[in-house]
Amino acid sequence: MKIKQSRCLFKKRNNKRVKKMKLRNLLIPALLAFAVTACNDEEAKSYDGAIFSDGDSTITFAKIKGAEYKMTYKSKLVDTNNSVLIKDGRVYNNNNSFLGDISDSSYKTIDGIVYTR
């Protein structure tokens, strides 16, 4: 009799271990996925279609992929297109040179020119 009882207890212990392992195996990947999603906040924020103006000229941002945007500058004399990267609210060109700061309502260049929506 005692042998059967000990076997039953052993089986119950194994079931608890299996449940703990299953919970751990499910919980760790879920937490990792949540952490990666939370760290990727800039990816969620999009400046696609944002138009900024200082009165005489306009700057438009069109999303290409990821954090890469096509920045179009239009004035009375010049129209230019550049590929830029936006990281943490800062705009960089292809050479990783800083071009300016961008927010939901304004874009400020390194020259101090402020473009607003």
Phi, psi of 72 (to 5 degrees): -110, 125
Give yes or no: residues 49 and 104 share one domain.
yes
Give yes or no: residues 11 and 50 share one domain.
no
Domain total in the chain: 2
pLDDT digits (tens, 9 = 90+) for 42-86: 455 788 888 888 878 889 899 998 889 999 999 889 999 999 999
Q: Is 77 helix (H, G, I), strand (E, B) or coil?
A: coil
Token pair of 93 as six digits: 């060109």
Give yes or no: residues 64 and 105 share one domain.
yes
The model carries a pTM of 0.59
The answer to whether 62 and 72 have CB atoms below 8 angstroms apart is yes
Give yes or no: residues 56 and 104 share one domain.
yes
